[in-house]
Amino acid sequence: MHAQVNGTQMAYTDEGAGRTLLLVHGFPLNRQVWSPQVAAFRRDFRVIAPDLRGLGESWGTADPVAMDRYAEDLQALMTHLNAGPVILAGHSMGGYVALAFAKAFPQSLAGLVLVATKAGSDSPEAAAARRASAERVWAEGSSVVVDAMAAKMLSPGNSDPAMAAEVRGFMTASGPEGIIAALLGMAGRPDAGAWLGQIQVPTLVLAGADDAIMAPAEAVALAGGIPGAQLKVIPKAGHLVAFEQAEVFNAALGSWLQYERAGASNGPDQPRCC
């Protein structure tokens, strides 16, 4: 499905009925990466998974897209679809977007699931490396990024060539403009760390124990900064934890969703769920 929102055309999946679970993919991926979660949670939720501006099948240009802008797109899409307040799950760059959404649209947020992500901004060196990558993508094409990331998406012990090929396919579906826009947007993103303590919705932080892109220590720090946040580190999982260990991931998310539904709110006295 496609919708014209916020000056772009967004592609999205919208399945099931009930409370809205909004799934936001990372870089340079698309909504297909959430297919095991759409299949599992559409039984009990309205599951919406968009392609972010310029990635997958959504339109975009090579102009930098700030995390705030992606968040505004999500809010516009939810308004268009008459959906929400949402339980928002964001993976990696999708987590940066989820934090921007939580800050800008707290009234639209019922819960937060932060997957293989962090609150911090890029160091000057990391930002410079992203800008250099953007220039290389402009000159040489998306394969520069796809080749660099493909090897790090799954855990080192994963020897499933079909899964690796599927993951590569998710990345090659994104065009160079959207990849450049996202690289430049991530390079300029602010540090969300000081603001984490203001998050008031129930929050779950999930990480892959073998993530070569986002160290599990980032998840520990993130969960530590959000009042009452739950933390789960999933074994034998790399950066794409929700796809690589879908069953274990879905069980953790499912039990947290039940706990969250029972009326959990953040705070030091709240029971731990997972």
Residues of the shown chain interacting with ligand MLT in the complex, contacts defined by CB under 6 A: 26-27, 92-93, 186, 213
* Least distance to ligand MLT, CB of residue 218, Å: 10
Cβ proximity to ligand MLT, 26 vs 178, nearer residue: 26
Q: How far is CA 217 from CA 71, 74, 117, in A?
A: 26, 28, 10
Smallest gap from residue 273 Cβ to ligand MLT (A): 25
- CB 93 → ligand MLT: shortest distance, Å? 3
Q: Between residues 81 and 171, which has the closer beta carbon with respect to ligand MLT?
A: 171
Q: Which is nearer to ligand MLT, 42 or 168 (CB)?
A: 168
Closest approach of Cβ 95 to ligand MLT, in Å?
Answer: 8
Cβ-contact 109, 122 below 8 angstroms: no
Smallest distance from the beta carbon of 267 to ligand MLT, in angstroms?
Answer: 30
Between residues 11 and 29, which has the closer beta carbon with respect to ligand MLT?
29
Determine the distance from the C-alpha atom of residue 134 to the mean position of all C-alpha atoms in its chain, rounded to a whole number: 21
Choose between 22 and 93: whose C-beta lies nearer to ligand MLT: 93
